[in-house]
Structure 1
Amino acid sequence: MTPWEKALRSALYAIEQGYKAFPLSINKTPSVRSPHDKGHSCRGQCGKPGHGVHDATTDPAYARHLFDLSPRATGYGIACGGRMVGLDLDRKNGVNGVETVNQLAAKHGFQLPQTMTICTPSGGFHLWLSIPDGVTVPNSAGRLGLGIDVRGTGGYLVGPGSTGKAGEYTLHPKLGEVDVQPTPAQLLKLMLPKPATRRIPRADPSPVTASKALDGLVRVVLNAPEGTRNDRLYWAAAKAWAHVDDGHMGAAEVEAALVEAATRQGLTAGEAMRTVASARRAGVTA
């Protein structure tokens, strides 16, 4: 069985279980090419495939179509948001997210449940957790601590049965396939953005104006010349977070839009989220 066949079969099985899936390349990025020219801000409204996590589907026939469009796909993504979040615990380059989350658990008095757990090629883990209806958890990179990334609205996890450059993503050998468990209340509280003291907006922009501003920042990232991608992303993120602080934009929308644009430019989702998070921290301390 080829990696493509294994990824397709695994994605279809995930869809049977109720998850939304879409194909990934060996770099863990969306593998269906965008139908738009560089600089677009469409997130699937056009109805065509090629919009990253926005392609994720629970329709087996459409999933097969997406894989047919990506003959080099070697994996698949599981869309987060809705009632599911992912906890990505890295263990590489001297960072140990498992130790960090255990320290958080001891400090805040929660215990991680035995939930669906995926082993990553680098020795880390992806924990799948459920959240209550109506709760929106944003993506974050390192905000909870070193080696801990949160995959929420607009984010995705690499599904088991996928193959990346470093190897395969597999079910935890001791746990196997288990039900996704609720996020402990104290951990969920840590995942949510802290209430911020808002500045008084200089004006009350319409939703259309705010949307155009975000689209413009997304285009800055998408049009970044080679060698300037990270700097342009940081600049755009700093501008966007200022709009969030003013109450003009939503944090989850900003992070999802900029991270998606950066991954289309070749950055990994983790790199992009770390840069966006860094711009956020700089704005908070400025």
Structure 2
Amino acid sequence: MNRHLLYAALDAAERGWAVLPLRPGDKRPALHGEDVCPGIGDCAGGHRKWEERATIDPDRIHRAWGDLPFNVGIATGPSGLVVVDLDMPKRKSSTDTPNGVTTFTALCERAGQAVPATRTVRTASGGVHLYFTAPSGVRLCNTAGRLGKRIDTRAWGGYIVAPGSLTPMGAYAVVNDLPPAPLPEWLSARLTARQASRALMTAPSAVRASRYAAAGLNAETASVRHAPEGERNATLLRAARALGRFIAWGDLPREQVEEALQWAGEQAGLSPRSCEATIRSGLNWSIARNGQRRVA
């Protein structure tokens, strides 16, 4: 098992993709967190996060995978990759719920484009990873559901599980070993436009948005982005609860608040799915308790 996963890590590194160890049988990074940082090795000059510690150095890879059967992660940003993650519906979903592949195919058809031919990996859950090389001059970040339902993307701030890795749900396996194609311009334009809209959160689009609501949105997203490790999810929950009242009062549209908090949470290092769940919980809690604006 160790040898198989070691070869998977070396194969990715030979392609120029920076790898990191994931917990055995799991998808979470196996590297230490900031609160238990020993200040040695990669962190001798201060704590370094998993994206900074991902490597293509074969000696480091041999040491990392020498003893334990770590799964293999690929840090997409440092590897110059953008990966489109096409998910399967959750188990309790309706039988006619479309999966990510179906939604992505429809997205391509609406854009008048063919489904891109590129390196393709089947995920443990039956979904698909489409690998693309990142466009030059643009620093794309992760997205969750912005291209469509059950379509996520991984770029800077994200990683994917490499083929050869195993989880209780199954294995990750290559189904099309083509070299990654350049990210199509039409997809890059959609992702770039979304990214630009998040950068303009200082000007909420809601007509009724007050300066107070806009200031609250900016302050809460900033607090999430700069939350220390170990406090990020709690900070995101507090921010969602604080901002939910502006949705209930009609000062901010829910979609805008969700998008701003999702971006901030992912920038802080939280997973897209974790962000979605926390934001939904916090906003629902707040909206239910702030149905009517208090009058002084």
Common fold, TM-score beyond 0.5? yes
Aligned pairs for 1:199-210 within 5 A: 199=202
Structure 1 residue aligned with 2:142? 139
Q: TM-score if structure 2 supplies the norm length?
A: 0.67
> Residue 62 of structure 1 aligns to which amino acid in structure 2?
R
Quote the Cα distance in structure 2 between the aligned partners of 1:236 and 1:217.
12
Decide whether the 8 Å contact of 2:142 with 2:155 is kept in 1.
yes
Q: How much has 1:186 moved relative to structure 2?
A: 1.1
| Change in 2 beyond 3 A, CA 1:186/1:170 | same
| Change in 2 beyond 3 A, CA 1:124/1:134 | same
Give CA-to-partner distance per residue, 1:53-96, whole Å, 9 cap, x none: 3321111112223334x7252x1111112531000001132450
RMSD over aligned Cα atoms = 3.6
Identity of aligned residues (%): 29
Aligned with residue 76 of structure 1, among 72, 79, 93: 72
Quote the Cα distance in structure 2 between the aligned partners of 1:35 and 1:255.
17
Decide whether the 8 Å contact of 1:30 with 1:52 is kept in 2.
yes
Structure 2 residue aligned with 1:65? 63
Structure 2 residue aligned with 1:16? 14
Structure 1 residue aligned with 2:124? 121
- Pairing 1:163–2:205 present: no
Quote the Cα distance in structure 2 between the aligned partners of 1:67 and 1:235.
39
Structure 1 residue aligned with 2:208? none
Q: How much has 1:193 moved relative to structure 2?
A: 4.1
- Pairing 1:90–2:87 present: yes
Number of residue pairs aligned between Structure 1 and Structure 2: 238
Decide whether the 8 Å contact of 2:77 with 2:158 is kept in 1.
yes
Q: How much has 1:49 moved relative to structure 2?
A: 8.0
Decide whether the 8 Å contact of 2:135 with 2:188 is kept in 1.
no
Structure 2 residue aligned with 1:51? 49
| Change in 2 beyond 3 A, CA 1:98/1:11 | same
Aligned pairs for 1:243-282 within 5 A: 254-258=264-268, 260=269, 262=270, 269-275=271-277
Quote the Cα distance in structure 2 between the aligned partners of 1:86 and 1:184.
12
| Change in 2 beyond 3 A, CA 1:151/1:218 | same
Greater relative CO (CA pairs within 8 A, separation 6+) = 1
Decide whether the 8 Å contact of 1:14 with 1:20 is kept in 2.
yes
Q: How much has 1:187 moved relative to structure 2?
A: 1.2
Name which of structure 1's ranges 24-33 and 119-128 shifts more when overlaid on structure 2: 24-33
Structure 2 residue aligned with 1:182? 182
Q: How much has 1:251 moved relative to structure 2?
A: 9.6
Quote the Cα distance in structure 2 between the aligned partners of 1:37 and 1:18.
30
Aligned with residue 227 of structure 2, among 190, 214, 218: 218
Quote the Cα distance in structure 2 between the aligned partners of 1:144 and 1:215.
24
Q: How much has 1:50 moved relative to structure 2?
A: 6.9
Q: How much has 1:106 moved relative to structure 2?
A: 1.1
Decide whether the 8 Å contact of 1:24 with 1:31 is kept in 2.
yes
- Pairing 1:30–2:32 present: no
> Residue 6 of structure 1 aligns to which amino acid in structure 2?
H
Q: How much has 1:112 moved relative to structure 2?
A: 2.5
Decide whether the 8 Å contact of 1:23 with 1:30 is kept in 2.
yes
> Residue 106 of structure 1 aligns to which amino acid in structure 2?
E
